[in-house]
Amino acid sequence: MLNNKLLQVFLFIFSSLFIAQQKKISLSDFPDDKVMVVAHRGDWREAPENSVWAVKMAIEKGVDMAEIDLAMTKDSVLILMHDNTIDRTTTGKGKPSDFTLDEIKKLHLRDGLGVETQMKVPTLQEILEISDGKILLNLDKGFDYIKQVYPLVKKRNMLDQILFKGHESYPEFNQKYGDIKNEIHYMPIIQLGKSDDLKKISDYLQNYKIYGFEFTVGTTEKNLIDFKKLSEKKIKIWVNSLWPHHNAGNNDDLVLENADVYDWYINKGVNIIQTDRPKELINYLKRKKLYY
């Protein structure tokens, strides 16, 4: 009997790993009736934010997309870094642009508690290599580097795995990226409640095939719009579950007391959620049969 139980456990683990290895997704093929899970700065609760292992842990958990942040070194190499300085997340001090890649690589990353680890700051190239075919990437804090990222991604045939974002209006976006706009997936960031937000949305809808919109809702639903009307047009709706000002107070930490806090997103028509708690969100989506 014990042997049979062990065999069942082995087969379950093997089949789960096999399914995970087979799960190759692209932005174009992601189903409209499922919710995309985005891990904020990778799975930073398991590894230092924006690290190789943060992305690997997100892959292991079955996350659909990892959000990463870009900065550039003194010798023009794209690395992963969120802040304007390296002080908080590494053992060094200063701006990324103060250091060459070799100098950056001599430093160690700190974990979420500020403790030094043995991990190094990764380059974008390193992250592309480990994510290719395994997880989608959203390049945040990289608005100024789209033109530098584009050839790297195109060379690796990964354009359908990378989501670019930005705050520009459509005319600004078209002026900057008009020559590549039809080859990339792009998502404008809209802060609801600003005077030009509805015009911004309208301009994009009339002039460009966007992948979707990222919306900052605010601390209440005062400025909320009808997301479902956009979803009906096959436009993805991204809302962050990170902090209360993103989502009318329906933030990640509430899941520790209320497992159904994510109902708010589903009821509003949101189908991309960036989270600091990917395990809890995935478990919720599996219960609701909304996990891809």
How many percent of the chain have pLDDT more than 90? 89
Using 50, 70 and 90 to split pLDDT, how confident is the model at 20? very low
Torsion of CA 45, 48, 50, 55, to 10 degrees: -60
Q: Which residues pair with 275 in a beta bridge?
A: 39
Region for 48 from its dihedrals, namely left if φ exceeds 0, alpha if ψ lies in -120 to 50, beta otherwise: beta
How many percent of the chain have pLDDT more than 70? 92
Kindly state whether residue 209 falls inside one of the protein's structural domains: yes
What is the pLDDT, as a whole number, of residue 25?
A: 84
- How many folded domains does the chain comprise? 1
Within 10 angstroms of residue 192's Cβ, the number of other Cβ atoms is: 17
Mean predicted confidence (pLDDT) in 184-191: 97
What is the pLDDT, as a whole number, of residue 113?
A: 95
Within 10 angstroms of residue 193's Cβ, the number of other Cβ atoms is: 13
Kindly state whether residue 274 falls inside one of the protein's structural domains: yes
What is the pLDDT, as a whole number, of residue 23?
A: 60
What is the pLDDT, as a whole number, of residue 102?
A: 98
Kindly state whether residue 104 falls inside one of the protein's structural domains: yes
Kindly state whether residue 272 falls inside one of the protein's structural domains: yes
Within 10 angstroms of residue 32's Cβ, the number of other Cβ atoms is: 10
Mean predicted confidence (pLDDT) in 11-25: 52
Strand duo 78-80 + 65-72: pairing? antiparallel
Structural domain containing residue 161: 25-287
Kindly state whether residue 19 falls inside one of the protein's structural domains: no
What is the pLDDT, as a whole number, of residue 18?
A: 45
What is the pLDDT, as a whole number, of residue 68?
A: 97
**What backbone phi and psi angles, to 5 degrees, belong to 88?**
-70, -40
Kindly state whether residue 227 falls inside one of the protein's structural domains: yes
pLDDT at residue 169 is higher than 90: yes
Mean predicted confidence (pLDDT) in 159-187: 97
> Which residue is associated with the tokens 């042997």?
3
Contact 191, 197 (CB under 8 A): yes
Kindly state whether residue 87 falls inside one of the protein's structural domains: yes
Using 50, 70 and 90 to split pLDDT, how confident is the model at 11? very low
Kindly state whether residue 13 falls inside one of the protein's structural domains: no
Report which residue type is found at 201.
Answer: I
What is the pLDDT, as a whole number, of residue 142?
A: 77
Query: Rounded distance, CA 128 to CA 116, Å?
Result: 25
Using 50, 70 and 90 to split pLDDT, how confident is the model at 96? very high
What is the pLDDT, as a whole number, of residue 284?
A: 97
Within 10 angstroms of residue 151's Cβ, the number of other Cβ atoms is: 10
What CATH number is given to the structural domain containing 90?
Answer: 3.20.20.190
Mean predicted confidence (pLDDT) in 229-234: 93
CA dist 127 → 53, 94, 152, 179, 193 (Å) = 10, 23, 12, 26, 35
Average pLDDT of the chain? 93
What is the pLDDT, as a whole number, of residue 6?
A: 56
Burial of 29 (0-12, 13-18, 19+ CB in 10 A): exposed
Q: What is the DSSP-derived secondary structure letter of residue 129?
A: H
